[in-house]
Amino acid sequence: MTPLHTLPKKLRSLLLTLSSSAVLLILSGAAMANPEIEIFKSPSCGCCTKWADYLKDNGFDVKLKETENLNPIKMSARIPAGKGSCHTAFIDGYVIEGHVPAEDIKRLLEEKPDAQGLTVPGMPVGSPGMEMGARKDAYQVLIFQKDGTTEVFSEH
Question: Would you call 16 helix, strand, or coil by DSSP?
Answer: helix
Q: Which domains does the chain have, with CATH numbers?
A: 34-155 (3.40.30)
Q: pLDDT tens, 58-102? A: 999 999 999 999 999 999 999 999 999 999 999 999 999 999 999
Q: Which residues pair with 65 in a beta bridge?
A: 40
Indicate the pairing of strand 88-91 with strand 117-119.
Answer: unpaired
The percent helix, strand, coil of the chain (3-state, each to 5) is 35, 25, 40
- SS3 call for 2: coil
SS3 letters for 18-64? HHHHHHHHHHHHHHCCCCEEEEEECCCCHHHHHHHHHHHHCCCEEEE
Asked if the model's pLDDT at residue 22 lies above 60, the reply is no
Determine the pLDDT at residue 130: 95
C-alpha angle 49-52-57 in degrees, rounded to nearest 5: 125
Each residue's pLDDT tens digit, 31-40:
457 899 999 9
For the entire predicted model, the pTM comes to 0.78
Q: Which residues pair with 155 in a beta bridge?
A: 140
Over residues 138-153, the mean pLDDT reads 96
> Does pLDDT of 56 surpass 50?
yes
The answer to whether residue 7 scores a pLDDT higher than 70 is no
Mean pLDDT of 118-123: 97
